[in-house]
Structure 1
Amino acid sequence: MRLSVLDQSPISKGQTAEEALQQTIQLAVHTEQLGYHRYWVAEHHNTNGLAGSSPEILIGQIAASTRRLRVGSGGVLLPQYSPLKVAETFRVLEAFHPERIDLGVGRSPGGGKRTRLALTDGMEKPLHSFSRQVKELQQFLHGDIPKGHEYYGVSARPATKTVPSMWVLGLSERGAKHAALYGTGFTMGHFISPDKGEEAVRTYRERFRPSKSLKMPQVNVCVFVVCADTQEEAERLAASQDLWLLEVEKGLETRIASVEEASARTYTEKEIEKIRSNRRRCIIGDPHHVKRELDLLAEKYGTEEFLVITNIYDFNKKKRSYELLAELM
């Protein structure tokens, strides 16, 4: 089994954004030493609890601080941007760090309507353009804009000997079809919605078309994991993540509360049921339990690679979780 990391640069209560971003760098260095394969960073806007609003800058910082890790985006919110600009940004990253850069893109609008309009400078950009944008992004990366295209003659610079590997992030068959059609890797967001994962991955493999960058289908799966030395300790630590997920889904606080605050909270029956439902997106437990659950997920999705996301309050406990996972593999 191959382990990788997805990091949203979460901010714990009492912490600054500057500290959270420095912890992202520290965790990348730490997980590289532990043998992790990739380190991807997310993109979020207009939120006080997630510091990673510019994955491109974080990727450069992480890649410069590490030597072996593949570093990438999980993912760039492509509907808000120009495929040419994204291609050029990642070509620059590739020039600095050849054969280490992953370009993951998603269809998410990136926030509410006002946030999205602010990102697009007031332009109404339809989400249904995503398929066309994925195609053009790949064409710009590989210098394949065809004759007759309105952008023929425009090249993404700088010219580089290699290009970033491209991934499409998805939650259902829709995202899987985009990845399959254009021959990119596919990342299944089990940590967001596990309900349609098997169908999505099956569709991707059945419809996959080889491309210049990828000859065979490639799948990884992202899942929340909290691992501790004992089951009881893992459950205790996960309380902060449980509360965080509740607050995020309500559009409330997006900073991570302490275990003490989460444990002292009185939950309604509806919130308790929601926590139970959210646990389907997570694996929480001691090493033996986590290994067993990851093996089951690997069989379910037919993949050997997991992107692990751990959003708990205590940074040292987070590092310990990643250490215990590494010992399993």
Structure 2
Amino acid sequence: MHLGILEQMPAPKGMTTEDTVENTLSLAQYAEELGYERFWFAEHHATKGMTSSSPEIMMAATATRTHAIHVGSGGILLPQYSPYKVASQLLQLQALFPGRIEAGVGRSPGGGERVRSALADGKENQLGEYPDKLEALVEYVQGQSSQGLRATPRTETAPAIYSLGLGENSAELAAQLGVGYVYGHFINPTRGQAAHEIYRQNAEHNTPHAMSAIFVICGESDDHAEELATSQDLWLLRTEKGLDSRVPSVEEAKVTRKTKRDQQKIRENRARMIIGGPRKVREELESLSESYQNDEWLILTNIADVEEKRRSFSRIASLFK
């Protein structure tokens, strides 16, 4: 089983942005040692705790600190930007780090309307133009002419492009344009099998590549994992309410009062995760892989304890060597 990491870079409570960034770069180095194949960065704006707002810069910093692991975005908010500019950035990165650059792109607005408008410099909502922008991006990075222009610098190999999505329509678009596909199980756990099936059926390129992104916490035992997961449970609950997106400690999570609706939401959110000791994590990942027929998993782990987070990734990697 192939494994990668998708890092949203939420800062643990009490930790500075600078320390969070440094810990993330250290984690990327460790991930390479463990055998993870790729390390991707999300793009989030105007949040209290998310510290990954410029995945391209984090990609460059990570590639500088590592040797061979692929680095990418998951994902760049393409509707808000010029495909020509995005392609130029990716090609520049590819020239610096040949064969290691990937870009997952998606149609998310990146936040509320004020955030979307600020990112797009006041332009009207262009979410509906995502298919056209994705097609233009693919043409630019592959050295083709789009609208009479070619993106530079030209590189011997093109950065790999992936389209992020949550269902059949996004999977069909990725297949039609000949790009990789990433299904966000960690956002919507209900459409993965159908999305991956549509992608496989419609992929016309020779080497289709489908991944799924999922929250995973692997503890020493099921009970240990459940304890660690209380941190992520409360973080996700608060983040979805638009509250504090810094990651609370296990201790804070245990003493925080939760309404019946909060408790129900936490239970519902568990469908987006795999939480357990090594045996349970392996069994559930293998079961989902059999259902999805995906090529790779991108793992997210958002807990406050930095060392426990590293140990979780280590346990997951050891399961599939």
TM-score by length of 2: 0.98
Q: Secondary structure at the match of 1:221?
A: strand
Distance 2:142 2:8 in 1: 29
One of 185, 192, 204 as aligned partner of 1:190: 185
Candidates 251, 256, 259, aligned match of 2:247:
256
Q: 1:12 and 2:21 equivalent?
A: no
Residues 143-292 of structure 1: pairs in structure 2 closer than 5 A: 143-145=143-145, 151-152=147-148, 154-210=149-205, 215-292=206-283
Unmatched 5+ stretches in structure 2:
none
Structure 1 stretches lacking a partner, 5+ long: none
Q: Which residue of 2 aligns with 1:302?
A: 293
Distance in 1 (CA, whole Å) between partners of 2:21 and 2:36 is 19
Q: CA deviation at 1:144?
A: 1.7
Amino acid at match of 1:119: L
2: CA distance between counterparts of 1:319 and 1:132?
39
Could you list the structure 1 runs, at least 4 aligned residues long, displaced by more than 3 angstroms after superposition.
none
Task: For 1:12-91, list aligned pairs within 5 A.
Answer: 12-91=12-91
Q: 1:180 to 1:304 in 2, by over 3 A?
A: closer
- 1:274-314 per-position Cα deviation (integer Å, ceiling 9, x unaligned): 11110000001100110000000110110241101000010
How many angstroms apart in 2 are the aligned matches of 1:177 and 1:125?
23
8 Å contact from structure 2 (residues 166, 188) kept in 1? yes
Distance 1:317 1:55 in 2: 24
* 3-state SS in 2 of match to 1:74: strand
1:241 is paired with a residue whose SS is: helix
Alignment RMSD (CA, Å): 0.9
Task: State the identity %.
Answer: 46
Contact 2:143 2:154 in 1 (8 A): no
Alpha-carbon distance between aligned partners in 1 of 2:223 and 2:126, rounded to the nearest angstrom:
47
After superposition, what is the alpha-carbon deviation per residue over 1:247-279, rounded to whole angstroms, capped at 9, x for unaligned?
A: 011111100011011011121111111111100
Map of 1:112 onto structure 2: 112
List per-residue Cα deviations over 1:2-24 (Å, max 9, x = no partner): 11100011101101111111111
1:317 aligns with 2:298: no
In the aligned structure 2, how far is the partner of 1:98 from the partner of 1:49?
A: 32
Counterpart contact for 2:209–2:295, Cα < 8 Å: no
Counterpart CA distance in 1 for 2:251 and 2:114 is 35
Which amino acid in 2 is paired with 1:263? K
User: Aligned partners of 1:22, 1:206: CA distance in 2, in Å?
Assistant: 42
Code of the residue aligned with 1:282 in structure 2: it is M
Deviation of the 1:233 alpha carbon: 1.0
SS in 1 for 2:40: strand
Output the CA distance in 2 between the equivalents of 1:125 and 1:182: 23
Q: Distance in 2 between matches of 1:323 and 1:80?
A: 36
What's the offset of the Cα at 1:168? 0.4
Q: 2:238 & 2:73 partners in 1: Cα distance?
A: 25
The aligned length equals 320
Indicate the SS of the match to 1:14.
coil
CA contact (8 A) 2:196 2:294 kept: no
